[in-house]
């Protein structure tokens, strides 16, 4: 996610929490060599959503999912559509230690929730900085 995108969400009241980035959930969609080959052959080298979906039509899926299913760690291969994004919230303070900090985070999450939902983010993950 570009820095200008993170600025859309602003910071919490005291500046202790802000959107740092986004991350794939349950994991990022892993592109493999077959995806690159299809993008090269059919999409003039553009490895975007149309190329990924075309690859899935040809039986090429997320490398992480394929491996997890093969190893019995996951029940099924998730499609590109089933891979979601969550916003990464940078946390300057530990919310478990202070009620005022918890309140600041809670207010911030409520403030950005509608915008995050509109932008199709699945939820939030937290990163201590």
Does position 117 have pLDDT exceeding 80, yes or no?
yes
In this prediction, residue 98 carries a pLDDT of 86
Domain boundaries, the chain: 1-26+83-129, 29-81
Mean pLDDT over all residues of the chain?
94
**Residue 89 pairs with which residues in a beta bridge?**
19, 126
In this prediction, residue 114 carries a pLDDT of 97
List pLDDT tens digits, range 79-97. Answer: 999 999 999 999 999 888 7
Does position 20 have pLDDT exceeding 90, yes or no?
yes
Calpha distance 97→120 (Å, rounded): 31
Calpha distance 26→68 (Å, rounded): 12
More confident residue, 27 or 95: 27
């Amino acid at each position: 996610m570009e820095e200008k995108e993170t600025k859309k969400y602003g910071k919490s009241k005291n500046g202790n929490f802000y959107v740092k980035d986004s991350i794939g959930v349950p994991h990022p969609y892993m592109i493999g060599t077959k995806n690159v080959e299809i993008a090269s052959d059919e999409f003039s080298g553009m490895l975007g959503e149309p190329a990924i979906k075309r690859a899935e039509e040809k039986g090429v899926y997320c490398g992480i999912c394929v491996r997890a299913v093969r190893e019995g760690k996951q029940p099924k291969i998730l499609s590109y559509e089933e891979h979601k994004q969550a916003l990464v919230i940078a946390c300057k303070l530990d919310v478990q230690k202070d009620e005022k900090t918890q309140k600041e985070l809670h207010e911030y999450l409520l403030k950005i929730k509608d915008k995050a939902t509109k932008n199709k983010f699945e939820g939030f993950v937290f990163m201590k900085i």
